[in-house]
Structure 1
Amino acid sequence: MDERRSLLGHRRGESEPKPGNARKVKVAQGAILLTVALERLAFYSLTGNLVLFLNRDPFIWKSYNALYCTFVFLGISYVLSFVGGIIADTLLGKFKTLLFAFVIYLVGYIFLPVVTYEDNTVSAENNTFLQAICGKFRNSEDQQNDKRSLIEENCAALIFGILTIISVGSGIFRSVIAPFGADQVRGEGPQTSLAFFNWYYWSINLGTLVALSVVTYIQQDYSFFYGFLSSNICLGLSCLVFITGCWTYIYVPKTGSILTNIFKIFFESCQRRRMHRHRENNVEHISADASDIPEFRVTESSPSFLDRAKYRFGGSFHETAVEDVKQLLKILCVFMTLLPYWMVYFQMQTTFELQGLHMKLDMSNTETYTFCNHNYSSFTTQLTSKNTLVAAWFTLFDVIFLILLLPLFDRVIYPYLKKRDRPVGIVCRISIGMMFATAAVMVAGVVELFRLKQVWPDEDKQCCSTTINQTIGHTVYRAADMSVFWQIPQYALIGISEVFTSVAALEFAYQMAPKSMKGIIMGFFYLFTGIGSLLGTGTMFAFKGTWFFQEDFGNINCRIPCTDEKRKFEHACHLDYYFFFLAGLEFLGMFVFISIAKRLRLSQHLVPVSKTSTLNNVTEKTFAKEREDLSHSASRRVNS
């Protein structure tokens, strides 16, 4: 998603460092690219299978609790990206901030092989190591008669502690590594910069591909211990490679955060607004002849809230500084309309994977089981042969479609449409991507609807389910006799939506962002991405007791109660309804985005033609405003 693309291909600093030795520049680029590839391998090795990691032995978390935890982990990781940018800009600088992030990252990640040390040899009730750390474990049979919340799951405190530490390290690293890489190629010419960020994009995808294809296979079919151990080694190598290249890096001093000026402008606007209201109240008691006095003369145009901080209205800030803040507010409004999209996007590593775990992963497994008159726990004690497919592999269809379609649209389709005077604007691209995202969760809902029909095929016996057993580790999942390949369209549609919405949203941010706020806009982009993930958690909690139940023990096939064959169920788990709800929410979000874009007249600012003339017009307006600011400032000094 988000970071798996060339994010900063057009980023420029206020001052360009002098070009360094060509050899050192190449070594610095190579070190950073390898660092990024290895770090992304470690990150996606965790997120790609986090639901399965918590849902299976030895932890045996309820499926929905595993989903909540994953949403929270991803949300915190992205939200803290914003904090990482502030730390780098104001406190430590980029290089020291990255070292700080690596230390936190490694401290958290090193616990993962530790807590999974015995997971390939023993089950939960015999895992003496974890029991020594977390106390007595509930096993799979205990779970069938146990109602527990998220914080009451096996080893919940330890797991949340580990994931929080990792999310802090990964969030800070994500926000700083791309700008630090941009520093290394400044002053080397536009072609060098373009080439670096193309390789940066491919390095991220390389790490993602290896993590989702190789490491997730080791985790699911062999052992999470060996999977986390290998990715832990990769993270350590990533840190080592980064430190090794320190003698070649270009270090740009920290410049301070623009947030300080933003808060000052808001504060002064509030202060001057109160002063203006007080002055208006006093003017009411003054005779009409007082209108000739300069202090009480009414201005020709009433200033807006933020305009009161400008020189021309008696404030302390230049015209451009205030206009930059107003432009930032417009960008944040658009980012808010993208929240439903991020809620949909993060279903890939959560509900989509959980759905896949309850579909047929072993094509050779044709033996079905019928269960009646029971409480439908997700776990049984009858182990079967290991499956041959990995549920996390299907996330690769998102990556593959992204890799194939981005160059196709960038090099072929968009230039072709532009030559025919039909350029596709950013607003149009974001809207199209939202439509594909809506289609993705709609398809997921339809797949889930048919999956549930496979589990409950007999309408006359509504409490009799027909499933296949597939073993992952020491856990048996009761899955529908329905091929997991039916999930391919929903992953593919998410990938297509990224090509339009994610890339266009970043392009929009960098086109609209003032020069002084390029860095902070990236921080806000990740911040709203993380909020979208956290909202995904909130919506699942909101429907607890409606589509998800405390009594289901994490079983997405549940019908409650079904203890009598002749008795109809009262409640049923409906992950399909959740998907349909997200589809409706995203469809509504698309119309909200179009309305906001129309109200803010974004299309006028994002026309993909006549860039030179537009830039010249903007430059002339900027100089005119600066001259006007100086004129008003001089007038005030003369009057005083």
Structure 2
Amino acid sequence: MDGGTGSTRLSKSCVLIIVVASIERFSYKGVASNLVTYLTDVVKMSTSSAAKSVNTWCGVTSMLPLAGAFLADSYWDRYSTILVSSLLYVVGLLALTSRALLWANTSSASSSSSSASLFCSLYLISLGQGGYNPCLQAFGADQLENVEDDELPCNNVKESTNKKTSFFQWWYFGICSGSLLGVSFMSYIQDTYGWGWGFAIPTIAMGASIVFFSCGSRSYVHKQSKIVEKPFDAIVHSIKEAVRKLLGGRISLLPRDSDGFELELQEKKALQVKIDGSKSSDMNPSSCELPFDGARAILRLLPIWAMLLTFAVIFQQPSTFFTKQGMTMKRNIGEDFMIPPATLQSAITISIILLMPLYDKIIIPIIRIFTRDDKGCNVLQRIGIGMFLSIIAMIIAAVVESKRLRISRKPDLLLSRTSTVPLSIFWLLPQYILLGISDVFTVVGMQEFFYTQVPNRMRTIGIALYLSVFGVGSFLSALLISVIELITSSSRQKHSWFSDDMREAHLDNYYWLLALLGTLSLFLFVNLSKHYNACKDSPNESGK
């Protein structure tokens, strides 16, 4: 990818890490994409129980990177954390594979002990991912820099910024390619050759990725800084200091019209370190990082992080209610072939794969016409564009669902009692494709934003913050469904919005609600972005 300006050629170590990441996504999606089917058909769980189990597992898997990041940045280094967590990952996959092979040769597989061992292996995979995912991405971005950065990322040169943008775009291209192969190929293997092979192949692939990663050990750049205080301790210390000042009445807000109004409470530009006597190389900003800057950097990201949660909730829909819609629509091509509803999820990944290489060559020049900025748009603007597109996707989903409901409630269909609505499943494609396009803007922008807006020693935590958005979003989605179901079921309506009878359900109302919540989040996000004091020397990270 071009990256807009400057040289954006990635090093061999960067390319190797991107390949390793795509193999890991193949392994993960090969297990996760069809896990509901395994739980219902093999473990004999009910559909609702299986769905809740998968949602909980995915949520925990997305939240654990926060713990893994603190471990890597506070006690270990990223390289060691990657190796240890990848071994845990493979052990979990081996346990899952052996469990599947054992159940294939056992008449009864639904005992509580068997189920417990299954979930132990799944959550062992989660533990492995908790350290693996944030560290691998941060470690890959570290390979771009052959010289030490300054203490905060505000002094990144323009070429380094362009390389990071290119890296995060190709990173996402790689993991989407691996995900697409995992979803399509492994689903076929599991349905055709059984779950033993269906879990064994991802295990072998993950083991091979560890070998590939280890082969590049001599060429990797290992970035380390002299830490004055551990990141976790620094954040706790910073919170205590803020509370102490607040209780002491020593915090004053800047005037509303002040150019210095920021998200944090009257934060100074940087801590100036004065050394009595001779100059000490140990206190050079490039090699020594002060705790309060890192703690503030994390805390000031939280408002932006919170505004992205609705986007994460919207992205839970393709694997749940979009698929449920498709099950009731006309899915046949010819007389014999029926399109599996879940297959349309690949439209999101295909959209990302096709659009990513064209982002710099087509999309950025178009955006440049409106913004008159050589870069096209900064990171926060890129995230906002994706949030806007996700809202449009929800509006289209609501309109299509309304059309499906009108057709399903026609008298002749009600009398025939058929569950299939004479409306092609391809009516759902626009909402899938739009979510894929929004992914290119928002998700890639989130990765770059959370990585670049924290100090070097806390960049693994920055990646974990990005991953945790989707973990919390998964839990919020389940909570929102429970609350809505409780309210609509207890009202005068005969059926809730999520009725099992899709002719009586009101998913269109749910989509309109998500569009409204998304609009509110976007409005707050835009206002927060205007006041966010990003790194002024980095053209790609300024929120102004």
TM range (shorter): 0.7 to 0.9
Instruction: Name the structure 1 match of 2:189.
Output: 218
The match for 2:518 among 577, 586, 608 is: 586
Question: 2:453 touches 2:534 (CA, 8 Å); kept in 1?
Answer: no
2:384 counterpart SS class: helix
Alignment of 1:436-585 (within 5 A): 436-452=389-405, 457-458=410-411, 461=414, 465-467=417-419, 480=421, 482-510=423-451, 512-513=453-454, 517-545=458-486, 558-559=500-501, 572-585=504-517
Alignment of 1:153-232 (within 5 A): 157-187=116-146, 200-220=171-191, 223-232=194-203
Identity %: 26
2:300 counterpart SS class: helix
Question: 1:455 touches 1:557 (CA, 8 Å); kept in 2?
Answer: no
Counterpart AA for 1:205: C
Counterpart AA for 2:237: K
- In 2, the alpha carbon distance for the partners of 1:237 and 1:6 equals 31
Which string of whole-angstrom CA distances, capped at 9 and with x for unpartnered residues, describes residues 581-616 of structure 1? 222221222222223334x2569969959x9xx9xx
- In 1, the alpha carbon distance for the partners of 2:344 and 2:123 equals 26
Counterpart AA for 1:176: C
Pair 1:401-2:372 in alignment = no
Shift of 1:29: 4.9
Pair 1:263-2:236 in alignment = yes
Alignment of 1:299-448 (within 5 A): 322=292, 325-364=295-334, 388-415=338-365, 417-418=367-368, 422-423=372-373, 425-426=377-378, 427-448=380-401
Counterpart AA for 2:121: I
Which string of whole-angstrom CA distances, capped at 9 and with x for unpartnered residues, describes residues 77-108 of structure 1? 12111211111122232222112212221232
Shift of 1:436: 1.6
With 189-198 and 210-219 compared, the bigger mean Cα shift is at: 189-198
Shift of 1:237: 1.8
The match for 1:37 among 11, 22, 26 is: 22
Counterpart AA for 2:318: M
- In 2, the alpha carbon distance for the partners of 1:116 and 1:311 equals 56
Counterpart AA for 2:469: F
1:110 counterpart SS class: helix
The match for 2:93 among 88, 109, 114 is: 109
Q: Aligned in 2, Cα 1:6/1:45: closer, same or farther, shift over 3 Å?
A: farther
Counterpart AA for 2:23: L
With 421-430 and 579-588 compared, the bigger mean Cα shift is at: 421-430
- In 2, the alpha carbon distance for the partners of 1:486 and 1:60 equals 33
Which string of whole-angstrom CA distances, capped at 9 and with x for unpartnered residues, describes residues 354-381 of structure 1? 443444444345xxxxxxxxxxxxxxxx
Instruction: Name the structure 2 match of 1:568.
Output: none
Counterpart AA for 1:263: V
2:305 counterpart SS class: helix
With 185-194 and 531-540 compared, the bigger mean Cα shift is at: 185-194
Question: 1:41 touches 1:210 (CA, 8 Å); kept in 2?
Answer: yes
Counterpart AA for 2:109: L
1:577 counterpart SS class: helix
Shift of 1:579: 2.8
- In 1, the alpha carbon distance for the partners of 2:188 and 2:511 equals 27
Instruction: Name the structure 1 match of 2:260.
Output: none
TM-score by length of 1: 0.64
Shift of 1:507: 4.1
Q: Aligned in 2, Cα 1:465/1:490: closer, same or farther, shift over 3 Å?
A: same
Instruction: Name the structure 1 match of 2:150.
Output: none
- In 1, the alpha carbon distance for the partners of 2:401 and 2:334 equals 22
Q: Aligned in 2, Cα 1:235/1:416: closer, same or farther, shift over 3 Å?
A: same
- In 2, the alpha carbon distance for the partners of 1:158 and 1:6 equals 48
With 89-98 and 334-343 compared, the bigger mean Cα shift is at: 89-98
Pair 1:134-2:112 in alignment = yes
Counterpart AA for 1:343: V
Q: Aligned in 2, Cα 1:511/1:185: closer, same or farther, shift over 3 Å?
A: closer
Question: 2:451 touches 2:460 (CA, 8 Å); kept in 1?
Answer: no
The match for 2:37 among 36, 46, 52 is: 52
Shift of 1:185: 4.8
Counterpart AA for 1:340: T
Instruction: Name the structure 2 match of 1:143.
Output: none
1:128 counterpart SS class: coil
2:417 counterpart SS class: strand
Shift of 1:109: 2.0
Q: Aligned in 2, Cα 1:325/1:115: closer, same or farther, shift over 3 Å?
A: closer
Q: Aligned in 2, Cα 1:217/1:359: closer, same or farther, shift over 3 Å?
A: farther
Instruction: Name the structure 1 match of 2:254.
Output: none
Pair 1:239-2:210 in alignment = yes
Unaligned 5+ segments in structure 2 are 148-158, 251-263, 273-284
Alignment of 1:605-616 (within 5 A): none
Shift of 1:337: 0.7
- In 1, the alpha carbon distance for the partners of 2:19 and 2:461 equals 26
Question: 1:91 touches 1:254 (CA, 8 Å); kept in 2?
Answer: no
Question: 2:351 touches 2:433 (CA, 8 Å); kept in 1?
Answer: yes
Which string of whole-angstrom CA distances, capped at 9 and with x for unpartnered residues, describes residues 278-303 of structure 1? xxxxxxxxxxxxxxxxxxxxxxxxxx
The match for 1:96 among 60, 77, 80 is: 80
TM-align CA RMSD: 4.4
Instruction: Name the structure 2 match of 1:374.
Output: none
Question: 1:42 touches 1:234 (CA, 8 Å); kept in 2?
Answer: yes
1:130 counterpart SS class: coil
1:525 counterpart SS class: helix
Q: Aligned in 2, Cα 1:592/1:220: closer, same or farther, shift over 3 Å?
A: farther
Structure of larger gyration radius? 1
Instruction: Name the structure 1 match of 2:280.
Output: none
Shift of 1:343: 0.6
Which string of whole-angstrom CA distances, capped at 9 and with x for unpartnered residues, describes residues 229-285 of structure 1? 2222212222233344445544445765433223223223434555668xxxxxxxx
Q: Aligned in 2, Cα 1:106/1:67: closer, same or farther, shift over 3 Å?
A: same
- In 1, the alpha carbon distance for the partners of 2:316 and 2:178 equals 19
Q: Aligned in 2, Cα 1:466/1:242: closer, same or farther, shift over 3 Å?
A: same
Aligned length: 489
Counterpart AA for 1:226: W
